[in-house]
Each structure stands twice: as structure tokens, then as C-alpha cells.
């Protein structure tokens, strides 16, 4: 007859053979970090390494078939992504009642909260840094055919509380794979960040993310949204009809190069909106292009330069 210790060893061996794994075998669950649509986000610590992570706990009972499909799409996209400015998926666990998604722990809150703490005032240099980080992440996604479709400050998390913390794109629930010559008509997104072609119910492609990047960059530089009002209809009208306003304070103090980037990204006609390679090659981002040349020793290999991952990128277990 097996004693308790031998029995546990046999059970562990059987679990490995059949591919069974339990979240609680690997992680110690800690305090609640936040609340999501289908459950909680918990802090956790890996039992062997001591590494801090965040665990998204989702109740299957609260999810419809459509919700499950969206969640599966997000998981598949996160599995593919290995970029320093996109949240990293570390592990996935599932049982009959719950899905557990283990991700890197980002302790700085979302970009909106980061800006709110600073009364929405950041230097142009810092705005440029954050805009460039977002642009390279979007370039990476688009290279794999992924349109995020809901880029906004609430879906961008800060790696830490530090003033110069890196930012990372999260929440791929509305993302979609769009081929090179494909378009979509699905309504989506958050009004103040949605491109005109979506509001007009016209076919759109991945360039909707460039519009959202333009809105966020404009916000970083000016403290306000380019198209905003208390009435949703007026926000939609402004988005479709009005040019962005660069006449009020602090715009006279902002560089022409920064205004050029915002103007390019906030082009109403999606066919005239420049691709990310052109945006990243604009003068405002010249210092990053120079750094890329020094790193790669060539003007080529943009994909490699814009998709370099951190050396300690965690892998899916």
C-alpha cells in the first residue's frame, strides 16, 4: 500500500503524462488587482521562481458563446506576441468553471491614470517616447495582420510607477486578423478614438489603429482629445468633418515635427493616412531611427528593429 508521499508522487507523474496542470500547483494567489468583465485580476507569485505575475480569472458561467470566442481570439493573439510594448502572456490554465490567464505583472496602472496624476501634462520629449513605443507595437501587430481596433489610454498599461516607465498595449478582445487586401465592417471601439471610416460604416483596414494612435499622441501633447463633446453625436460629427485644432495653448509651443505627425495620423481619408513605416521615418522620430541604424548597422530590417524583444521574455509553459 502506498504511503501519502508516494501517492502524491504518483499523482504528479500521472498529471504530467496526461497533460493536466492546475494553476494552484504553480502559483500562490495574492490580493485582487482589479475587476474585469467576467471576473477578477489577481496578483500571484510563482512558487519556484518567486516571480510576480497577474492572473485574469474568468468565470465560464458568466460568459456567452460569443464571449468565449472573443476570449479565445485574444489568447491566440497574445500567444503570438513577443514585443516589449505588448503585454506578455505567460501561461494559461482551465478547468470546468474557470479560465485563468497568467500575464506579466504591470504595476503602474493604465495610461489614463498616469496622465491624470500629472494633470495630463507631460513634456514633448516624453510624449514622443510614449508615442514611439505605441507605434512600434502597432507596427508589430500589423506585421502579423492584427488590427487592435480599441486603442485608448485605458487599454495601455504602465510597466511601473516610475516617471519614465514603459507602456504596454493590453486587451485584445476586439482585435481582428485582417489580411493585406481585406477590409471589415464590424462596428467596434470607443467613440473618441474611433476612425471616421468606422463611424461612416465604410469598409476599413488596419489603418484604424493609426487614427487611434493619432488621437492618443494629440492627447499626450495637448492635454485634451482632438474631437470631444458632451454629446456623442457631436463627437462623431467632429471626427468625420472637422480638422484637428492646433491653434490653442500649448500647441504654439509644440514643435512643427510633432504637429506633422498628428496631422498625418489624423487624416480623415484612410487611403491617404500614411503607413507606420512612413510615420516612424518622420522627422519627429529621427532620434529613434538613428538609434536603429546604430543597432542594426543598416537602414534595412525595419521589422527586426521594431520588434526586438527583451532578453528575458517569458515563454508559454
Domain 111-306 has CATH 1.20.1090.10: no
Q: For the chain, which residues score pLDDT lower than 50?
A: 17-20, 297-305, 308-317
Domain boundaries defined on the chain: 20-104, 111-306
pLDDT at 188: 74
- Asked if 161 is an active-site residue, the reply is no
pLDDT at 35: 80
pLDDT at 17: 46
Q: Look up the CATH number of domain 20-104.
A: 3.30.200.20
pLDDT at 301: 47
Catalytic residue among 91, 110, 150, 209: 150
pLDDT digits (tens, 9 = 90+) for 26-35: 999 999 988 8
Helix (H) or strand (E) holding 39, with range, is strand 39-46
Predicted TM-score of the model (pTM): 0.84
Amino acid at each position: 500500500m502506498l504511503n501519502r508521499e508516494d501517492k502524491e508522487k504518483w499523482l504528479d507523474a500521472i498529471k504530467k503524462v496526461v497533460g493536466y496542470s492546475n494553476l494552484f500547483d504553480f502559483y500562490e494567489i495574492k490580493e485582487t488587482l482589479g475587476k474585469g468583465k467576467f471576473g477578477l485580476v489577481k496578483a500571484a507569485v510563482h512558487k519556484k521562481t518567486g516571480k510576480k505575475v497577474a492572473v485574469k480569472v474568468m468565470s465560464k458561467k458568466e460568459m456567452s458563446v460569443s464571449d468565449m470566442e472573443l476570449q479565445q481570439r485574444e489568447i491566440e493573439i497574445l500567444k503570438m506576441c513577443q514585443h516589449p510594448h505588448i503585454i506578455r502572456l505567460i501561461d494559461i490554465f482551465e478547468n470546468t468553471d474557470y479560465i485563468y490567464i497568467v500575464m506579466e505583472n504591470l504595476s503602474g496602472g493604465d495610461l489614463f491614470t498616469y496622465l491624470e496624476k500629472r494633470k495630463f501634462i507631460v513634456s514633448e520629449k516624453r510624449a514622443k517616447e510614449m508615442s514611439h513605443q505605441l507605434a512600434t507595437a502597432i507596427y508589430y501587430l500589423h506585421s502579423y495582420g492584427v488590427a487592435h481596433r480599441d486603442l485608448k489610454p485605458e487599454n495601455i498599461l504602465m510597466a511601473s510607477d516610475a516617471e519614465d516607465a514603459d507602456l504596454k498595449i493590453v486587451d485584445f478582445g476586439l482585435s481582428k486578423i485582417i489580411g493585406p487586401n481585406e477590409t471589415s465592417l464590424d462596428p467596434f471601439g470607443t467613440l473618441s478614438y474611433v476612425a471616421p471610416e468606422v463611424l461612416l460604416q465604410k469598409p476599413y483596414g488596419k489603418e484604424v489603429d493609426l487614427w487611434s494612435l493619432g488621437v492618443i499622441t494629440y492627447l499626450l501633447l495637448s492635454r485634451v482629445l482632438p474631437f470631444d463633446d458632451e454629446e456623442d453625436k457631436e463627437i462623431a460629427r467632429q471626427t468625420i468633418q472637422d480638422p484637428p485644432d492646433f491653434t490653442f495653448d500649448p500647441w504654439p509651443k509644440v514643435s512643427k515635427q510633432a504637429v506633422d505627425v498628428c496631422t498625418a495620423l489624423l487624416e480623415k481619408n484612410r487611403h491617404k493616412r500614411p503607413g507606420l513605416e512612413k510615420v516612424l521615418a518622420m522627422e519627429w522620430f529621427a532620434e529613434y531611427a538613428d538609434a536603429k541604424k546604430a543597432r542594426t548597422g543598416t537602414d534595412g530590417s525595419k521589422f527586426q528593429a521594431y520588434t526586438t524583444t527583451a532578453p528575458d521574455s517569458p515563454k508559454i509553459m
